[in-house]
Amino acid sequence: MKNTAFIVFGVFLALFLSWKGIVSCGIQKQFLDLSPATSSLDANGNNLEDEPTFPEVHAGLYAMGKDVYEELGCVSCHTQQVRSGDVALGLGKRQSVARDYVFQKNMQLGSLRIGPDLTNLGLREFKVEGKKASFEDWMYLMLRNPRILDSQNFMPSYSFLFNVKMRMAQKSSNTLVFPENSTFSPDEGYEVVPSRRAEALVYYLKNLKQDYELPEMKFTGESK
Amino acid sequence: MECDNSTFLIDKKAKVIDDSIKVPALLFVLSSAGWLVAGTILLLIGSIRLTNPGFLSGCEYFTYGKITDAQQSMWAYGWACNVVFGVCLWVIARLSGRKIASSSILLVAGLFWNLAVTIGVVGIFKGEYTGLSWIAFHPAVNTLLLIAYAMIGVWGIVSFMTRTNRNVFAAQWFILAALLVFPWIFSTASIALSDKMTLGILETVIHSWFVHNYFALFLTPAAVGVAYYLVPKFTGKAISGYSLAPIAFWALIIIAPWGGGEFLLGGPVPMWLQAAGQVSVLLMVIPVGIIVYNIFGSLFCRKKGVCACAIHPFSKFIVFGMLGLIAYTALKGALVFPEINAKLHFTFTTLASEYLGFYAFFSMIMFGGVYFMLPRLLGKDWCSKESILMQFVFSFTGIIMLVFFMLKSGCIQSQYVGQEGNVMQALQGPLRGQILAISLLLISHIMFLGHCLCLIASALCPCKALCHDESKESATVNA
């Protein structure tokens, strides 16, 4: 153990082998051809013609919304992965697999569930005051201040994503609809409207869903 | 307290080495303590946010995600790296019997390093970050850090290569390994992650590979190296069972790099990767077992009938650090079993194991290292050993409470798997406990910063310049 070169070489070799083994010869090689696929394949293992391939390619508003999601650090509390055991708990219809994330840069997989898993957020049903509400109506209120919907909710509010402005004769098309007599409603004559970033974020969140089958992973359960 | 220099001036050669690294080491220690305090303040804010979501929530710069990422980065690159640079470079220079050739380059590089960390943290608050835990800085900042590192880490390697002492000690291998591993994993991971073609699962795997190696091959060998250096100083005897130390070293180097999969158990990654991670984590028992046997075997020497750890005031940092290492390895090992993992993977339990490794093990040993090093650098002893004991008690109580409440939170969370929307209500009790624990840590860290500042101030104070000048004189005479 007196030879410097021996120690230096040993350390480098150990790290190099693990990088080779895990990353370049392992994952990179195994997933070299990973690309969107149709839900089932033909006899030769090719995608079926005339059928949609999954995961879908999103662009524009979705990418902008993902940026907002990253910037705000939502990943600190929310995961975006359904493990095999999670299917029985109703987090999704099937387990998440590598192909689901094939297009994603800066994956927001997450490692802590202080809040719920968001893999299939876009598939959930929402209620405001016991009545069925659209995804956007519910999510805007949730982001504006979660206590509007549930006084016991511990998610932080993201009120800076919204603008409060004077109400014109005609209501803005995207104005937030507060529950009646809510203490969080804006003052008389004002309305709360989402900023462009909030719209992008909600569009992104609405498109979080793994509601398709892949050749390697079929539905094994029902999502709640 | 009287100026007692006699203990620190026995070895003239050591004094020359100490003087060569003194100014940069002081910079590293002070900035590490500063980042530690700043990070703990953010940790406290973050934990308050979990029980009181309205706190600071109207401001975009302080979202919970940004606070946690900034805190983690401050601890990882501000506290951990700085303190490793300060203490480990000194240890390796001392053991190699070689002074640092250019302390001014080291000093400038240290300033650059801290500047880069500052830029990175500001970037996080402005939203310019990767969102990947432990490597959250913007890729441009990572480049700056690497350039600064090249001018810092090189001095450790150079003094080892040009060593004048014929003997090579275990502390040197471990520290050398840590200094070599950091640029390797950090450059590889940050280049690979910023590549546009790194998409999907590949990115996650590289990230987990980095995080695992940052803990297992940077923090662990650095702290173990410092422990192997300090223990013989405390006991006045060689490490017991020393012939096993090379096995511990090579076992660590060979086993540890294959981990990473344990962070992704059950996730959308291949089974072989998960299995490799599980095996690697469980096999860590071998190096950790030998290290603990070496350190505890030397500290608890039964021959005299007196526990050697009671003799030196700072050896409790090492003892607690080693207990932290045992607990870290045990909890991490327990979490790779599929039945346990399915329940506890995405809960605070995972965080508890990180805190055991980062704080109870690594940081505790580094506190001991700084307390041992500074008096020798400055030629002046600590004014109040009682105050240091107080800091130990605060850290000790704080981290035990924090881990306890995190484990408790994890157990509650495990009953709510699949319905995480309702869990926060049930978690409020343990989360308040975490706030209390983090407040204790904050007090401890402010005390730590205060101790360092006090010692430096008293060593530089002109009224006590006599001791200072004497030591300088003797150094120049023997240069």
> How many other CB atoms are found less than 10 A from the CB of residue B161?
13
Cβ within 8 Å, pair A15-B184: yes
ipTM of this complex prediction, to 2 decimal places: 0.93
CA–CA separation, B154 and A46 (whole Å): 53
Bridge partners of residue A163, in order along the sequence: A193
Residue A20 makes CB contacts below 8 A (sequence gap 6+) with none
The H or E element that residue A29 is part of is helix A28-30
pLDDT tens-digit series, residues B458-467: 888 765 544 4
Q: How far is B111 from chain A (nearest CA, A)?
A: 27
Residues of chain B contacting A155 with CB distance shorter than 8 Å? 53
Q: How far is B52 from chain A (nearest CA, A)?
A: 7
How far is the CA of B289 from the CAs of A50, B247, B321, B401, in angstroms?
A: 60, 11, 14, 25
pLDDT tens-digit series, residues B194-233: 988 888 899 999 999 999 999 999 999 999 999 999 999 8
Nearest chain B alpha carbon to A101: B200
Residue, of B454 and B419, whose pLDDT is higher: B454
Listing DSSP states for B365-413 in one string gives: HHHHHHHHHHHHHHT---S-HHHHHHHHHHHHHHHHHHHHHHHHHHHHH
* Both structure tokens of B459: 């060593």
> How many other CB atoms are found less than 10 A from the CB of residue B469?
11
Indicate the pLDDT class of residue B475, thresholds 50, 70 and 90.
very low
Indicate the pLDDT class of residue B306, thresholds 50, 70 and 90.
low
A68, B165 Cβ separation under 8 angstroms: no
Q: Which of B361, B356, B373 shows the shortest CA–CA distance to B319?
A: B361
A123, A114 Cβ separation under 8 angstroms: no
Query: Apex CA B348: angle with CA B339 and CA B422, to 5°?
Result: 90
Q: With 50 as the cut, is the pLDDT of residue B477 above it?
A: no
Q: Which of B132, B125, B121, B118 shows the shortest CA–CA distance to B56?
A: B125
Cβ within 8 Å, pair B184-A103: no
* Both structure tokens of B132: 């990947």
Cβ within 8 Å, pair A73-B254: no
Amino acid at B153: G
B202 and A CB contact within 8 Å: yes
pLDDT at B245: 95
Count of A–B CB contacts within 8 Å? 199
B414 and A CB contact within 8 Å: no
Q: With 60 as the cut, is the pLDDT of residue B31 above it?
A: yes
Residue A39 makes CB contacts below 8 A (sequence gap 6+) with A51, A54, A212, A213, A214, A215
Cβ within 8 Å, pair A73-B181: no
Q: Tell me if residue B317 falls in helix, strand or coil.
A: helix
pLDDT tens-digit series, residues B122-181: 999 999 998 899 999 999 999 999 999 999 999 999 989 888 888 889 999 999 999 999
Q: Which of B53, B431, B49, B66 shows the shortest CA–CA distance to A143?
A: B53
pLDDT tens-digit series, residues B352-372: 999 999 999 999 999 999 999
pLDDT tens-digit series, residues B307-351: 655 678 888 999 999 999 999 999 999 999 999 998 899 999 999
Cβ within 8 Å, pair A108-B419: no
Which of residues 63 through 102 in chain A touch B, CB cutoff 8 A? 70-77, 79, 81, 83-86, 89-91, 95-98, 100-102
Cβ within 8 Å, pair A15-B417: no
* Inter-helix orientation angle B170-194/B89-96, to 10°: 140
- Residues of chain A falling short of pLDDT 50: none
Cβ within 8 Å, pair B217-A113: no
Q: How far is B383 from chain A (nearest CA, A)?
A: 39
CA–CA separation, B461 and A30 (whole Å): 64
How far is the CA of B292 from the CAs of B236, B256, B287, in angstroms?
A: 18, 17, 9
Strand extents, DSSP E, B332-376: none
The H or E element that residue B306 is part of is none
